Structures are given as structure tokens and as C-alpha cells.
Amino acid sequence: MKNMKCIVSVGLLLISHFLNAQKVDLHADHLTASKVFLSAEKLEGKKALKVLADTTIEGFDEPTFAKIKDVDFENGVIEVKVLSRLAKNAPEWARGFIGVAFRIGENNTRFECIYIRPTNGRAADQIRRNHSIQYFAFPDYKFDRLRKESPEKYESYADMGLNEWITIKIVVQDSKAELFLNDNKQASLLVNDLKLGAKNSGAIGLWVGNWTEGYFRDLKVIKQ
């Protein structure tokens, strides 16, 4: 009987999530560019938002995203399809960084982010493969600090590559976040201690890193 109650409860929760799902239009009128250039493109016959990082930016893990207007997000699910290319004349260390920023504070001074490094997914070096996925929190917990203080805790491996559509799904609940790629039922990255705290809310951003030409489509947001 307890199992039946549990199944019913989970079913109702899923129905509630479905009813609250919001497909977000990626039209320029609904976006604010932060240190990136935006344009509407067509790839493989489908509309996509192109987000190009400003190549003059110095430093890593910066507020470089297309911020969605009028979406205040605390807990729930963010799902989007992404495709990454290296920008023209990209340096050797460029990785095609692309992902999602969430709980973005006013003036973009604070946010959480999970992104992927597509060039690392099939690299011949295992250490690079282990750095295919990254979590960071702006401004104080960028990848280099997290890698130094907590090696392997905020990074992970997954198969991926440049110039291919990858579905990113981030599930956020209080101080925890899980990243799912494509149709995988198991999370590729678990973050159990979001650095900005359990009770934060803010905007969502389509994030790209240095020397990245990123494409986004089919953004969906489910709030809890």
C-alpha cells in the first residue's frame, strides 16, 4: 500500500511538472546579451539562437550569456539543445565551452553555471576527458579554484563532440543540481552543494565561454 501511495505521489508530481512546463521563445526581444553577440540562424533546417562570445574578454567563467527576460527561476528543470563550434582563429586551448547559467542575480554579479567542453569528450588524453563537464559559481568559485581545492568533485566525463546537437537538462532543487545529457537516465554530474546557497532565485542564461560559437534551441523551463 505504501508503494502504491509513493507511485501515485510521483505521478502527480510529474503531471504537475508537465503542466508547469514553459517553452521559452528565443527571439531577440526576449533576450539580453551580456558580453556576447546574438543572432538568429538556421541549422539543419531548424531555427536556432547563435551566441558568440566576445573574443576580447579576458579570464574564464565570466557572465557571458544570453539572459532570458522575465523568467525568475529557483527550483525545477531547465532543458535545452546546444551545439558548439570553435570561434574563428580560436587558440589551441579553446574547448567549445557551452552550457546554462541559472539563478542569475541583479546586474549579473552572481550566478551558478554548468557547462560542457565538447572537444574534451573524445580527446586521446584521459585527463582531458575527465574535464568534459564543469560546474562553477560566479564570482568566487570558478573552475580553477574548484579544481585546485576539490579535484574531480565538480567535473566529470561524458561522450560528446563539437558540431553536434546535445540535449542539456539541469535539475535544480535547493542546494543540489544534476546534469543529464541527451536521453541518459543517469546524471552525468552531481553537485550537492551549490556555492550560492539553497534559497536563491534569478534569471536563466544561455552561456558560452571564451572563443565559443554556440547555438541553442528548444529551451524549456519547468518551475517547482
Decide if pLDDT at 109 tops 90.
yes
Rounded Cα distance between 85 and 68, Å, is 22
Higher pLDDT, 210 or 16: 210
Whether 10 is covered by a domain: the verdict is: no
Residue 69, pLDDT > 60, answer yes
Domain of residue 156, residue span: 23-223
Q: What is the pLDDT of residue 44?
A: 87
pLDDT digit string (tens) for 120-164? 999 999 999 999 999 999 999 999 999 999 999 999 999 999 999
pLDDT at 12 over 90: no
Distance CA 92, CA 208 (A): 17
Least confident of 9-13, 100-104, 187-191, 197-201: 9-13
Give the CATH number for residue 47.
2.60.120.560
In a domain, 14, yes or no: no
113, part of any domain: yes
For residue 68, is pLDDT > 60? yes
Let me know if residue 164 belongs to a domain.
Answer: yes
Q: Note whether residue 5 is domain-resident.
A: no
**More confident: 57 or 103:** 103
**Mean pLDDT confidence for 69-78:** 96
pTM of the model: 0.90
Mean pLDDT, range 94-113, rounded to an integer? 97
Determine the distance from the C-alpha atom of residue 40 to the mean position of all C-alpha atoms in its chain, rounded to a whole number.
Answer: 20
How large is the average pLDDT for residues 200-209?
A: 97
Rg of the chain over Cα atoms, rounded to whole angstroms, equals 17
Would residue 4 count as lying in a domain?
no
pLDDT reading at 7 higher than 90: no
> Is residue 201 assigned to a domain?
yes
28 in any annotated domain: yes
C-alpha cell belonging to residue 218: 528548444
Q: How many domains does the chain have?
A: 1
| C-alpha distances out from residue 224 to 104, 110, 197, 221, Å | 17, 21, 17, 10
For residue 154, what are the contacts with CB-CB under 8 A and spacing of at least 6?
A: 134, 135, 136, 143, 146, 147, 189, 191
